[in-house]
Structure 1
Amino acid sequence: MGKALIIGAGGVSNVVVHKCCQNPEVFEEIMIASRTKSKCDAMKEKLDGGKTIIHTAQVDADDTDALIALIKDFKPEMVINVALPYQDLTIMDACLATGVHYLDTANYEPPEIPKFEYKWQWAYKEHFEKAGLTAILGCGFDPGVTGVFSAYAMKHYFDEIHYIDILDANGGDHGYPFATNFNPEINIREITANGRYWEQGEWIETEPLAIKRVFDFDGIGEKDAYLLYHEELESLALNIKGIKRIRFFMTFSQQYITHLNVLQNVGMTSIEPIAFEGKSIQPLHFLKAVLPDPATLGPRTKGKTNIGCICQGVKDGKPVTYYVYNMCDHEACYKEVGSQAISYTTGVPAMIGAKLLMEGKWKKPGVYNVEEFDPDPFMDELNKQGLPWHENFNPVLLD
C-alpha cells in the first residue's frame, strides 16, 4: 500500500519496525532513520528478507533541513516519529514542508523546561488543515491506547463520563537495583515533576508522588500507585463529554522510590547545568549515561504490565462503571520482537495508528489526539496485533 519513514532507533522503534514488517500489505517499504545509522542497520539485518522492503539512513532529527532532504529523497506517505519528544516540532515542520502525514507517541517538550503540554503541537492544527495533512499525536499506550479506551467507553457505554482514572502498572522485574523502563531522562523528569489532575474545570497541583493508592491489578496483584501528571489528561479533559475529574496513577516499588529520592536529594535529577572539569553538564544527562540502557532490559525482564482506564458516568440516566485494560507479558514480548513490554505497549499502538492512517480510516486534515478518531478499528487492531484488551463492568474503584 505504501511507504513509511520511521525516525528513531531505540526500543520503541524496534517494535514499530517489527510490527510494520508483520503487516506488509500496508507497509510495503519502510525506512529507519536515526542519528546512529548502525542501530538502524542492526534492525534491518534482523528483519531483511521478508515482504517489507527496509532502508536505513542517518539523520539528525533536530535538523529540519536534513529531515526535509531525507523525506524528499524517500518520498514516504507518512512519518512515524519515535525519536525524542524534543524533536516533535522539527519533524512536524519537515512533514509540512514535504506534504507527508505525521504520527508520534509523546508530546513536544522543550529541553530546558519539563512542561508536558500540547499547546506547541496544537498550534500546528491550521497549518496541517490547509496542507490537507493528518497529524496524530500521542499514539503510544499512555498517551494513546488510554485515549482510545476512553473514546470507546464514551461511544458504546456512556452518555457522559464523569470520572476517569488511568492506571499504569508495571509488575516486571529486571534484576537491577534501579533502572528506568524507557528513556531515563524523560522518565525521571516526568516522575519528579509536580502531580496534577483535572477536577471541576481546573487543574489541582500536588507535590511529586504525594498521593498514593493501593490497587489490585489483574495478573500482577496489589501495587502502590502514585498520582502523576500525564499528558493525555490535558486532551481527554477537553475531548470526553461530561468530565468532572480525570487522574493518572503509575506504580512504583518502594525500592524505586528510595533510589529516586536519594538521587534527587543529591542533585542528580536536576536539569540545571553545572560546571564540571571545565565543561557545562546537566546532572540528569550524566545519570542517564550511567544507568542501564532501557533497550538492554528486554532479556532480563520478567512479569507483566497492566494499563487501563476506570470510567464512571451515566447512560440513559443510570450510573455506569466500566474498566477496560490490557495485560502484557515482558518475556512474551521479548520472544516476539526482542523488546520488553514497555517498548512493546508503545510501539504496537504507534504502528496501529500509522496503519489506520495509511488505510484512510484515521485520516482527516489537521492535528488530532487519538480520542478524536473512531476508536472501533483501533480496538479491533489491538486484539489482532498483540495487545488484547479486557473489560469489567463492576470494578473496584479508587477513592
Structure 2
Amino acid sequence: MSKVLVIGAGGVSSVCVHKMAMNAGIFGEIHLASRTLSKCDAIADSVKQRTGVDIATYAIDAEDVPALTALIRQIAPKLVVNLALPYQDLPIMDACLEAGVNYLDTANYEPKDEAKFEYKWQWAYQERFAEKGLMALLGSGFDPGVTSVFAMWLKKHKLKTIRLLDILDCNGGDHGQHFATNFNPEINIREVTAPARHWRDGQWVETPAMTIRENFDFEGVGPKNMYLMYHEELESLARFVPELERGRFWMTFGDAYINHLTVLQNVGMTRIDPVVYNGQEIIPLQFLAAVLPKPETLGATTKGKTNIGDIATGEALDGSGERTFYIYNICDHEEAFHETGNQAISYTTGVPAMIGAAMMLTGAWAGEGVFNIEQLDPDPFMAMLNTQGLPWQVKELAGPLQF
C-alpha cells in the first residue's frame, strides 16, 4: 500500500479521492490539499461517511513552490496527483522535482494570460525528471486520458495504423440550470471560445470557434449537435500516432448553452484580460466563474448520460484491409452521484485519475521522465476501467464519419 497526496478540491478531486478510498489495497494513505481547507474537509467527511477511510487535509497555495515542497516533504508521498487548475501544473511539477516525488495530472499547462493549451512547457521537463529518476504522467483524465488510451488499445488489438481519428464527447445530462458548466467555468469557457483546430496531413488547420457543427446519434443519449473544437489530446496523439492523417475533436452543446455563451462573449464577460472596476483590476471571466453555479453542486440535480469515445479508421492488424472501430463509454449522472456525490463529468475524469495513479503505484506503468498516456501499455488501464465504474465497449462501423 502506498501514500499519495492529491492537490485540488473540486468535483474531479472528490471523485478521485472517493475512488482511492474504495481501493485501499493500493492507496494505503490518502492526503488532500487545496487553497481552501473547508473544501478538503468536506470531501474528507464524505469519504469517511461512504467508505470509513480517514483522509488527512491541508491548506496550501499550489503556486507557492517552497511551501508546497515543504508540505510534500512533510507527507513524503510516493505520488502527487495534481487535480488543481492547469495554470498550476508547472509549480507543482517544480515542487515534485525539489521533493523527489513522482507526478500525475489530468490536463496540460495553460498560462493565465493566454487561452492556449500546449504540452511544450511540460515536455520541457523531460530531462529534469529523468535525471532525478522520477516519472511524470500527463493527461490521465478522460479527454485527455481515456480517449488516448482507447486509440492505443485499438492500435494494439485491432488496427496496425490509425489514419483517421474522431473523438466524440457527448454530455446528454440536464442539470436544470439556465446556464452552468459541468467543470471549472473558467477553464470550460476558455476552451470553448478558443479557435478550433484539427490535425490534417501533418499540420494544424484552424477555424473560428463553434462554427463547424454536425449531428450524431449517441447511444444512450440520442441525436445531438456536436461542434469541432481543439482539445489537447490531439497534440499528443499527433506526436505518438505518426501515421495519423486527420485527427478531430467534437463536443456536444445545447442551443441554450450556445445562446448564453454568445451573449456573454458579446458583452465582454469571457475576456481574460484585466479591466478596472471601482479602482480594482478584475478579470471578467474569473468574475463570471464566481457567480455561476459551482460544478460540484450540480450532481444532485443532474440526470441523463454521457457518451465519450473514439472512431478510428486504419489498416487492420489481421490484414483484412481498412476498417473502422468505435470504442466508447456511457456513464450515468445519477449513478455517479449515488456512488461518489458527484455528477458524471467529474466522475469520468476523477476515475481515470485514480486509475493512472494506481498504474504508477503498482508498477504497471513505470519510467523515468515525462510521459503522455499514449506511451504506456493500454491493457492494464483498460482492464481497470471495466472494474472501476467506466466500462467500455467497441464495435465495428461500416466506415469513417462522412463529414
Q: With structure 1 as the length reference, what TM-score do the two structures score?
A: 0.98
Classify the secondary structure of the residue corresponding to 1:242.
coil
* 1:117-147 per-position Cα deviation (integer Å, ceiling 9, x unaligned): 0000000011111111111101100000001
CA distances 1:144-197 after superposition (whole Å, capped 9, x unpaired): 000100110111111110000000000000111111000000000000000000
- What residue number does 1:310 align with? 311
Q: Report the alpha carbon displacement of residue 397 of structure 1 after superposing the two structures with TM.
A: 3.8
Q: Do structure 1's residue 350 and structure 2's residue 353 form an aligned pair? A: yes
Give the Å deviation of 1:45.
Answer: 1.8
Is contact 1:160-1:241 (8 Å) kept? no
Q: For 1:45, what is the secondary structure of its paired residue?
A: helix
Q: How does 1:306-345 map to 2 (within 5 A)?
A: 306-315=307-316, 316=319, 318-345=321-348
Q: Which residue of 2 aligns with 1:29?
A: 29
The answer for the alignment partner of 2:77 in structure 1 is 76
- Alignment partner of 2:95: what SS? helix
Name the SS for the 2:352 alignment partner: helix
Q: Distance in 2 between matches of 1:300 and 1:51?
A: 26
Q: CA 1:395/1:16 → structure 2, altered by over 3 Å: closer, same or farther?
A: farther
| CA distance in 1 between partners of 2:191 and 2:44 (Å) | 32
Size of the aligned set, in residue pairs, is 399
After TM superposition, the structure 1 = structure 2 runs for residues 1-399 of structure 1, keeping only pairs within 5 Å, are 1-48=1-48, 50=51, 52-315=53-316, 316=319, 318-394=321-397, 397-398=400-401, 399=403
Over the residues paired in the alignment, what is the CA RMSD in angstroms?
Answer: 1.1
How far residue 22 of structure 1 moved from its aligned partner, in angstroms, is 0.6
Post-superposition offset of 1:47: 2.3
Q: CA deviation at 1:240?
A: 1.4
* Secondary structure of the corresponding residue to residue 113 of structure 2: coil
How many Å apart are 1:48 and its aligned residue?
2.8
Q: Distance in 2 between matches of 1:196 and 1:144?
A: 19
* 2:137/2:371 contact within 8 Å kept: yes
| Aligned 8 A contact 2:323 2:399 in 1 | no
> How much does 1:396 deviate?
6.6
Q: Secondary structure at the match of 2:397?
A: coil
Secondary structure of 2:163's aligned partner: strand
Instruction: Give the whole-Å Cα distance in 2 for the aligned partners of 1:88 and 1:52.
Output: 28
Output the CA distance in 2 between the equivalents of 1:54 and 1:114: 34
- The Cα offsets for residues 339-367 of structure 1, whole Å up to 9 and x where unpaired, read as 00000000000000000100001110111
Structure 1 contact 311–323 (Cα < 8 Å) conserved: yes
* Large movers: runs of 4+ above 2 Å: 46-53, 395-398
Counterpart amino acid of residue 292 in structure 2: L
Deviations 1:40-75 (A, max 9, x none): 112222223757442111100010011101001000
| In 1: Cα distance, 2:2 partner to 2:366 partner | 15
- Using the alignment, how far apart are the partners of 1:95 and 1:226 within structure 2? 37
TM-score by length of 2: 0.97
**Other structure's SS at 1:155 match:** helix
Q: In 1, are the aligned partners of 2:313 and 2:399 still within 8 Å (CA)?
A: no
Contact 1:150 1:240 in 2 (8 A): no
**Distance change (3 Å), C-alpha of 1:395 and 1:134:** farther
Cα distance between partner residues in 2 of 1:138 and 1:395: 31
CA displacement at 1:272 relative to structure 2: 1.4
Residue by residue over 1:71-105, the C-alpha shift from the partner in whole angstroms, topping out at 9 and shown as x without a partner, is 01000000000000000000000111111110000
Uncovered stretches (5+) of structure 2, i.e. residues with no partner: none
2:44–2:54 contact (8 Å) kept in structure 1: no
Task: Check whether the contact 2:47–2:54 (CA below 8 A) recurs between aligned residues.
Answer: no
